[in-house]
Amino acid sequence: MTVRRVLVGLLVAAIGLSTIVYSWTFFILLLCIGFASLYELNGLCEIKGQPLEYPVAVFGVFGYIVLAITGHIHSWEGVLLAAVTIASFAIGMYGEQQGYFARTAYTLLAVLYIGKLLTYFVFIRQVPETGMWWSFYVVVLIALTDIFGMVVGTAIGRHQLTKISPKKTVEGSLGALVIVAAVAAGAASIPQLHITWWQGAVLGVVTSVAAQAGDLAESALKRDAGVKDAGTMIQGHGGVLDRFDSYLFGGMAFFGALHLLGILALQR
């Protein structure tokens, strides 16, 4: 099972990284991840007894990503959220009345959790001239966080990080953080990035912490639903949401750090 997990992980990584070369293939991948993750999240909500207003959620996730791609998200995000909220309330009136509030709330949360957070990868890829390099950079940092969290935790982990995810350890978390920060600092020497080693280290720390938080957040959702995995789409890794949960928080934090460090302003 471990060998299968590694091979499948490498295949997923190869496919994901290859799509970054062309922005349109990367954006199609983001849409696929968004729809698959939403399907699995709806499954978790069904287990809880209150499924999403699924067509509304699909519309919301699609709307977020498309508005980000076309550059209209700042003008139309408010309209999109209003439409999702109103549609959720309206459609819910014709379904089961028990759980009406929960279904509407879950639907809006799903759109923000998946649709909104995926748009940050669109923004990163769209950075003029260097977007492709930044996209490679952030994807690798998040992937290494997942890998070394598991490797270091398995090798020397002794202290449980949180009850939400019993197999995660303090040693694995800190080990991943240190290694990713070091890799990020070393990769700062790539000339296309135009950053110093300390800026790379900060980006690595921020991204790794956020990626681990995203993993734990999704673990909390699964624990609340009483399941081990969100789905079974990726052999050895569970579902799509299980594989990409860390990316949802990681991409947002990375993009924010680029702004806070003034990196994007300097490159424009």
- For position 199, what pLDDT does the model report? 97
Own/partner pairs, 180-188, CB within 8 angstroms, 24+ separation: 180/141, 180/144, 180/145, 180/148, 180/204, 180/205, 180/207, 180/208, 181/205, 181/208, 183/140, 183/141, 183/144, 184/137, 184/141, 187/137, 187/140
Expressed as residue numbers, the domain containing 23 is 2-267
Report whether 42 contacts 51 (CB < 8 A): yes
State how many domains the chain has.
1
pTM of the prediction? 0.92
- For position 97, what pLDDT does the model report? 63
- For position 1, what pLDDT does the model report? 46
- For position 164, what pLDDT does the model report? 87
Q: What does pLDDT average to in each consecutive run of 10 residues of the chain (268 residues)?
A: 65 87 96 96 90 94 98 96 93 72 91 97 95 96 91 90 88 96 96 95 97 94 85 71 93 96 74
> Strand runs (DSSP E) across the chain, as ranges?
none
